[in-house]
Amino acid sequence: MDYNARMDYTELSGKSVLLLGKTRSLSEEEFTRLLRLHGVEWTRTLASEAAMAFEGRMMNPYEQTESARIYAEGKIALHALEPLEEWLCRSIEPNRLLMSLKLSRDQERLVDFLANPYITDELFFKLLGLYDWQNEGFFDNDRNRDVTAAIIGRFYADPEKNHNVQYAMSGLAHLIERYGTDELIGAVAALSPIAKELNSPSERSVAGILDAMALHPQTPLEVLRKLLPSRAALLARREPLVLEAELMAGGEVDELLSQNPTLSAEGRRVLMERFPALIARNAVLSGELFERLREGFAAALAANPSLDDAMQDALAAEGENAVLQSLAANPSLAPRHASALMEAGTYGEYLAANPSLPEGLLEKLYSSEDPKVHARLAANPATPIELLYQLSLDRRFERAVKTNPAFGRHIQTHNIGWH
């Protein structure tokens, strides 16, 4: 019984096959229709002309006995049904199917195909555009729920590990966040429950989906333009920044734009007068921009992750306490400055928050037993797991450890219960 052998199913043309159990990905009607397109008939009783037998799902006791007998006798080959169904689905002529569904308006048949894992993504998106949501939401009726579940289940990796993801509105938002492509996001945006909201915002239940679209780097530009009125604040945070001119024209999100590292040089020039400290902290620095902001905004510059070694040297040489505090927490802190600040002994709280600090320095900071240092270490994803376990035993830091993403990943990876 070879379930994995590659077969040339075209050899079945003009023959009959035996089906034991039920079809899996196709309705029996569709299974019959597609087989006949290839000149193949099927039966449930072992006829002398049956060229091959296939095992489907939910075989009854009689069929299980028949399967065992066929295998024992070895007169005809016995195979799993899934590869045959997959071959039939892959052989579908898309335009013919689309035309048939448009003419028949058979929504049940359409839903069956949307739930079929063997059709191509290209065909899936075309079929999705034919579905009639009946002016209702994603989960407002059983059929809409099934289609929504089919969208999520098709593109969400391992949905069985999260059984609720296919049947919750948050599942669509998670799908876009984790697996969004320009094609998928464009297709979801075109669905009537979303398209209606883009044209006339009123439905709060899809807010998470729209938020995910606004922030995702693969969201098509035409979708972002539709999101602009209601999601300007999120669009201002996007990296890389798009629709900059449109966002600046409104004026409502200028402060957020000044914090975006991908703000254009022209954008910085316009916003510099009003938000120089924010630009100093967030802009991708050139030597010219660094020197321009150094006088008056050194502490903000010291927190900028784009600082190079020469810029750090210049700021460290100034010796101002506020500048050194910012520098200590900067993820781009050069090792020699980290060591110097450790020796200074007064910047432990800021160093402990630095996610790029070497493990050895983090361990030294832990040994200080300073509560402020420990609080920062508890939240730092770079803190060694062993230290996080120790910190979690102290009620003052337990919450910070539990919400530390590195600790959360460790718990999940090692299947450790944590309450």
CB atoms within 10 A of CB 357: 24
Give the model's confidence band at 364: pLDDT under 50 very low, under 70 low, under 90 confident, else very high: very high
Residue 214 backbone phi and psi in degrees, to 5? -60, -35
Q: Give the separation between CA 188 and CA 155, rounded to whole angstroms.
A: 12
Mean of the per-residue pLDDT values of the chain: 93
Query: Which value, to the nearest 10 degrees, does the dihedral of the CA atoms of residues 269, 270, 276, 279 take?
Result: -70
Q: What is the pLDDT of residues 56-115, one digit of tens each?
A: 999 999 999 989 999 998 888 999 999 999 999 999 999 999 999 999 999 999 999 999
Give the model's confidence band at 202: pLDDT under 50 very low, under 70 low, under 90 confident, else very high: confident
- Angle CA(231)–CA(275)–CA(262) in degrees, nearest 5? 55
Going from the C-alpha of 292 to that of each of 296, 315, 332, the distances in angstroms are: 9, 13, 21
**What is the average per-residue pLDDT within 391-397?**
97
DSSP letter, residue 274: T
Is there a cis peptide before residue 240, judged by omega within 30 degrees of 0? yes
Does the pLDDT of residue 158 top 80, yes or no? no
Find the range with the poorest average confidence among 95-99, 136-140, 302-306, 415-419.
415-419
pTM listed for this prediction: 0.81
Q: Give the separation between CA 76 and CA 51, rounded to whole angstroms.
A: 6
Query: Tokens for 209?
Result: 């989906």
Picking from 381, 377, 355, the residue whose alpha carbon sits closest to that of residue 364 is 377
Query: Tokens for 74?
Result: 């070895």
Give the model's confidence band at 1: pLDDT under 50 very low, under 70 low, under 90 confident, else very high: very low
Tokens 């007064």 correspond to what residue? Answer: 346
Picking from 237, 230, 232, 274, the residue whose alpha carbon sits closest to that of residue 249 is 232
**What is the average per-residue pLDDT within 356-372?**
96
Residue 369 backbone phi and psi in degrees, to 5? 60, 25
Q: Give the separation between CA 59 and CA 18, rounded to whole angstroms.
A: 13
- Angle CA(221)–CA(224)–CA(226) in degrees, nearest 5? 115
Give, for 150, the enclosing helix (H) or strand (E): helix 142-155
Asked if residue 188 lies in contact with residue 150, where contact means CB atoms within 8 angstroms, the answer is no
> How high is the pLDDT of residue 349?
97
Picking from 214, 244, 251, the residue whose alpha carbon sits closest to that of residue 230 is 214
**Higher pLDDT among residues 415 and 390, named by residue:** 390
**What is the average per-residue pLDDT within 342-355?**
96
CB atoms within 10 A of CB 102: 11
Asked if residue 182 lies in contact with residue 219, where contact means CB atoms within 8 angstroms, the answer is yes
**What is the average per-residue pLDDT within 149-173?**
85
> How high is the pLDDT of residue 159?
67
DSSP letter, residue 157: S
Give the model's confidence band at 17: pLDDT under 50 very low, under 70 low, under 90 confident, else very high: very high
Residues in CB range of 27: below 8 A, 6 or more apart: 109, 112
**What is the average per-residue pLDDT within 370-383?**
98
**What is the average per-residue pLDDT within 258-264?**
97
Domains of the chain: 9-90 (3.40.50.10190), 94-250 (no CATH), 352-419 (no CATH)
Does the pLDDT of residue 3 top 60, yes or no? no
Residue 35, classed as helix, strand or coil, is helix
